């Protein structure tokens, strides 16, 4: 029986523990100083907004861990001694392991801004961050959010829900335009402004000013403007949380370097989730993927390897989802901010400016490469199947009803979408009748 220690109780570490327990009687210990129990990190914003209580973010009852013989240790790891296979905790205690899984996630980026460690300056990643925002929002007269990614828009929505004025600094010329093509990015720009959010594009922060009590009182932008505020959100991306490993002998890049089996350069040590960095990205994927579902998949993969069935990490087709205030977003396959040489695009936007689809395909073979959906819910399993089958743009459009996941009483837009494609491309595509059999066969 092995003694397996997992550092981190996020989705990656907990998934690994659960699957190791299903497959073995190994001793399992999870170490985390953040919270007593695993919680859904993506639900933190809804706790702040009053839609749920924190205990509702915990997928498992507190008795689950003892019943499944998973020991929980509330502490942070200060040092990993790989030769003695020993962990030194911040409370002075030590733990011995046979196999070690590093699943320490991410931390908000800080770029050395003067004042970045003042009171009421926080990221939005951990339970501690939620506590900080909750405390300092009580008397907040204006907040400034620095960074225009997914966490930035979430934190903005949180504060707006409490009627707190928000200035949103985005260093790019348009919101998230390193990921979104121009049409979608501009649509979100407009949507943010419609919510009375002070969106400042092409603007960065240079300094945070302090009041007499050490709390943020204003920020200065790169344009020389001073903006009064008493809460500052740092949401300019995240980085792997690996500083405690710098003297361990474990190979590091930005994260913990791993092979396809998620093994590090040290035998019996693995890394999974946001802190793991592939030596080379898998296909078009980045070497580091700070995404919930990839952490879960890595946890399942490393469990198989530790329990005697060595497995490669195979994440499959890229997909992701998010929400920009009232607009839901999904992406399947690949659709870059700018098309590549072999790619062609088809873009449709509804007249209300709240819905669009953007399809990427090979201009020579017509093979479907990827799609962005805004304001229209689509079925992941259907697009995943079409990508595997290398379907054409024509096939995807004609069968688009099969992918639509909106409720029956929602307005359907497939006919209008196909009509626009036909007009632009001189084709005569016709929407096929929705095939429930095909949908259920792929579910």
* Residue 85 belongs to a domain: yes
pLDDT at 428 exceeding the cut of 50: yes
Which three-class secondary structure state does DSSP give residue 94?
strand
User: Which of 236, 254, 278 is a domain's end point?
Assistant: 236
Number of domains in the chain: 3
Where do runs of H (alpha helix) occur along 257-348?
Answer: 292-306
Q: Which domain holds residue 25?
A: 3-107+239-306
pLDDT at 432 exceeding the cut of 90: no
* Residue 211 belongs to a domain: yes
Same domain, 60 and 205: no
pTM: 0.94
Q: What is the pLDDT of residue 180?
A: 97
pLDDT digits (tens, 9 = 90+) for 309-329: 999 999 999 999 999 999 999
Same domain, 84 and 19: yes
* Residue 77 belongs to a domain: yes
Same domain, 92 and 127: no
Same domain, 157 and 89: no
pLDDT digits (tens, 9 = 90+) for 355-370: 999 999 999 999 999 9
Same domain, 267 and 231: no
**Angstrom distances, CA of residue 260 to CA of 37, 68, 276, 307, 366:** 29, 29, 11, 16, 32
* Residue 274 belongs to a domain: yes
Same domain, 141 and 200: yes
Same domain, 254 and 172: no
pLDDT at 439 exceeding the cut of 80: no
User: Which of 236, 251, 275 is a domain's end point?
Assistant: 236
Same domain, 82 and 169: no
CATH number where 41 lies: 3.50.50.60
Same domain, 435 and 326: yes
CATH number where 413 lies: 3.30.390.30
Report d(CA 125, CA 119) in Å as an integer.
17
Q: What is the pLDDT of residue 440?
A: 52
- What confidence category does residue 436 fall into, taking pLDDT thresholds of 50, 70 and 90? low
Q: What is the pLDDT of residue 443?
A: 45
pLDDT at 437 exceeding the cut of 60: no
Burial class (CB within 10 angstroms; exposed 0-12, middle 13-18, buried 19+) of 237: middle
* Residue 311 belongs to a domain: no
* Residue 354 belongs to a domain: yes
* Residue 312 belongs to a domain: no
pLDDT digits (tens, 9 = 90+) for 105-152: 999 999 999 999 999 999 999 999 999 999 999 999 999 999 988 999
Same domain, 76 and 7: yes
- What confidence category does residue 431 fall into, taking pLDDT thresholds of 50, 70 and 90? confident
User: Which of 215, 236, 257 is a domain's end point?
Assistant: 236
Same domain, 429 and 328: yes
Q: What is the pLDDT of residue 433?
A: 75
Tokens found for residue 231: 């809460």
Lowest mean pLDDT among 234-238, 241-245, 362-366, 438-442: 438-442
Report d(CA 397, CA 355) in Å as an integer.
16
* Residue 264 belongs to a domain: yes
Helix (H) or strand (E) holding 189: helix 182-194
Question: What's the maximum distance between 2 C-alpha atoms anywhere in the chain?
Answer: 72
Same domain, 160 and 68: no
As a whole-number percent, the residues of the chain with pLDDT over 70 amount to 98
* Dihedral pair phi/psi, residue 217, rounded to 5°: -125, -15
pLDDT digits (tens, 9 = 90+) for 63-92: 999 999 999 999 999 999 999 999 999 999
Q: What is the pLDDT of residue 393?
A: 98
Return the ∠ at Cα 236 (arms to 323 and 104), rounded to 5°.
85
Residue 425 near residue 365 (C-beta atoms within 8 A)? no
What is the pLDDT of the chain when averaged over all its residues? 95
């Amino acid at each position: 029986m092995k003694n397996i220690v997992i550092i981190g109780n996020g989705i990656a570490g907990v998934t690994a523990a659960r699957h190791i327990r299903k497959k073995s009687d190994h001793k399992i210990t999870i170490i985390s100083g953040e919270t007593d129990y695993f919680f859904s990190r993506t639900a933190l914003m809804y706790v702040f907004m009053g839609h749920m209580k924190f205990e509702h973010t915990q997928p498992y009852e507190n008795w689950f861990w003892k019943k499944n013989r998973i020991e929980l240790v509330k502490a942070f790891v200060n040092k990993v001694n790989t030769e003695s296979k020993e962990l030194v905790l911040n409370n002075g205690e030590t733990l011995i392991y046979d196999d070690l899984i590093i699943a320490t996630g991410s931390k908000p980026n800080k770029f050395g801004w003067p004042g970045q460690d003042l009171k009421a300056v926080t990221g939005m990643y951990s339970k501690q961050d939620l506590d900080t925002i909750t405390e300092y929002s009580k008397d907040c007269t204006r907040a400034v959010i620095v960074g225009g990614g997914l966490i930035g828009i979430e934190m903005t929505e949180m504060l707006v829900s409490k009627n707190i004025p928000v200035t949103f600094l985005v260093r790019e010329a348009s919101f998230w335009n390193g990921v979104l093509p121009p049409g979608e990015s501009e649509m979100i720009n407009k949507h943010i402004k419609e919510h009375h959010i002070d969106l400042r594009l092409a603007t960065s922060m240079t300094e945070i000013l302090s009041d007499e009590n050490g709390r943020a009182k204003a920020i200065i932008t790169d344009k020389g403007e001073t903006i009064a505020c008493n809460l500052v959100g740092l949401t300019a991306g995240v980085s792997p949380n690996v500083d405690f490993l710098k003297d361990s002998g474990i190979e590091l890049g930005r994260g913990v370097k791993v092979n396809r089996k998620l093994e590090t350069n040290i035998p019996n040590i693995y890394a999974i989730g946001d802190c793991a960095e592939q030596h080379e990205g898998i296909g078009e994927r980045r070497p580091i993927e700070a995404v919930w579902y990839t952490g879960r998949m890595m946890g399942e993969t490393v469990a198989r390897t530790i329990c005697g069935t060595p497995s490669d990490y195979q994440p499959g087709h890229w997909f992701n989802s998010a929400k920009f205030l009232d607009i839901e977003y999904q992406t399947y396959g690949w659709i870059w901010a700018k098309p590549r040489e072999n790619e062609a695009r088809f873009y449709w936007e509804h007249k209300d400016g709240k819905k669009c689809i953007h399809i990427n395909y090979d201009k020579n073979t017509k093979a479907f490469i990827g799609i962005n959906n805004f304001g229209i819910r689509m079925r992941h399993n259907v697009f995943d199947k079409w990508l595997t089958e290398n379907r054409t743009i024509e096939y995807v459009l004609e069968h688009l009803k099969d992918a639509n996941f909106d409720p029956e009483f929602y307005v359907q837009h497939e006919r209008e979408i196909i009509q626009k494609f036909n007009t632009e491309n001189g084709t005569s595509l016709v929407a096929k009748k929705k095939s429930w059999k095909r949908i259920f066969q792929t579910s």
